[in-house]
A and B are shown apart, each in its own frame.
Chain A
Amino acid sequence: METEDIQLVRAAQIGDFWAFEELVRRHGARVYRIALRLLGNRSEAEDAAQEAFVQAWQALPVFRGESSVSTWLYRIVTNRCLNLLQARRREEPLSERQEAPTPVPERVAETVDALGALKTAILRLTPEQRAPLVLREFEGRAYEEIAEILEISVPAVKGRLHRARLELLDSMRQWR
């Protein structure tokens, strides 16, 4: 899979549009899934995934194969979502920001089912904590790869993941 990915990128780099198309088909679902988990909103996730691929296409000439193709795509979409979340946070008034890091429809305690409560709890994490959590729990990436995607150190990944998990535990305790 990975060797084929690299070959596809190489072909796309010398102008084979079909190869790029194949990359989009291979990674489309995954890129969308991450965006959805990070943003919590289908239409925003669709936009983010789409823009991430356009950005990947524009960045093809600078892709040197130092990281795997999927890591590279993860990094592009994750950064895009984190920037969006940051912009969203800036737009909110200060008072609200202190209460909720991201606008979430319901409070954890108000949701009826455990699944809904957990999803809400994930969306109430700070983006800095949510990203490693999504990459680890949902995508099953290794610490080293998450560090590469988020461009932070492995201990920082572990620290954030840890806080994210304790935060989830806390939210779920409150819910029950």
Chain B
Amino acid sequence: MTGREDVARLPCGTSVAVLVDQVAEGLPALDPAHQAACPDCRATLRELELVWGTVREVVREEVVPPSRLIENVLRRVRQELRALGQLVPLQTVIPRLVRHALLGGPRGATRIADSVVARIVAKTARDTPGVHALSVRGIALPRAGGPGRLTPRGVAIEVSGHSVSVEVRLVVAYGRSIPDLAAEVRRRVIHRVEAMTGLEPTAVAVAVDDVFGDPEPVPRRVPVPRAPERP
């Protein structure tokens, strides 16, 4: 570090640091007339151009992440989702971006947070016969909502003025007609949201991610009858 001060200025008095910035950042010369004439400055600039030419070459080198990186990340997060059950970090009560639906009125507006709508949707969907649970990417979520749950997962809400669009993800019981069940969930959600909030549900998208209670035996696990043992 002590030698640094010695190299910091050229014999002509120009600060090396200024020249470094000029080349590295591609800035215009502070003193073009001097730089054009001064052999010290020109030599240093040439040297810097050379070094930063190499820097730019390294920068241009393509870095390809290992193909498994993304899959590994998602697997880790899914593992945590399963392991933590309803204690997943997403459900802790912490500030988040809350959007409000707005109902105008002559004596003041009413604002309803999207999380309120989400809770109504979650409960209504869960209580519909034939619905096993809400889901996040096919993972059935525990039914009971513990204290401190701000927004239910498995539900996405987009509010805009007094209209609201909803997406709900489900795991359904095996055996029912899925289109009928989806229509029933949609009907109940629209009715409930309208009744409780006065907002207008413009769309209720229902995604069925999985079925529960599949009676089909898992292949290869079928017990093979064994020949009676010989005495």
Contact = CB atoms under 8 A, between A and B. Distances in A.
B69 A32 contact: yes
A165 B157 CA distance: 49
Nearest to A10: B97
B94 A61 contact: yes
Interface in A125-147: 137-138
Interface residues of A, number: 49
B65 A33 contact: yes
Given A13-B97, A61-B94, A24 B81 contact: no
23 contacts: A14-B156, A15-B90, A16-B136, A17-B78, A17-B81, A28-B65, A28-B69, A32-B66, A32-B69, A33-B63, A33-B65, A42-B66, A46-B69, A50-B72, A50-B73, A115-B61, A118-B55, A118-B58, A137-B24, A137-B55, A165-B20, A165-B24, A169-B47
Contact of B89 (A17, A32, A58): A58
Nearest to A161: B24
A53 B73 contact: yes
A76 interface: no
A124 B72 CA distance: 30
A168 interface: yes
Nearest to A35: B65
B45 to A, nearest CB: 12
B69 A50 contact: yes
Interface in A6-32: 10-18, 20-21, 24-25, 28-29, 32
Those 4 A-B pairs whose CB atoms lie nearest each other, nearest first: A15-B153, A32-B65, A17-B137, A61-B94
In the complex, which range does the number of interface residues on chain B fall in? 35 or more
A114 B52 CA distance: 11
A46 B51 contact: no
Interface string B124-142: 0000000000001100000
Contact of A54 (B61, B77, B118, B154): B77
A162 B22 CA distance: 12
A20 B54 contact: no
A15 B155 contact: yes
Interface in B60-104: 61, 63-66, 69-70, 72-74, 76-78, 80-81, 89-90, 92, 94-97
B152 interface: yes
Contact of B54 (A36, A53, A118): A118
Contacts of B152: 15
B136 A15 contact: yes
B63 A36 contact: yes
A28 B70 contact: yes
B77 A119 contact: no
A59 B69 CA distance: 20
A165 B27 CA distance: 15
A60 B89 contact: yes
Given A14-B157, A54-B77, A172 B54 contact: yes
B55 A14 contact: no
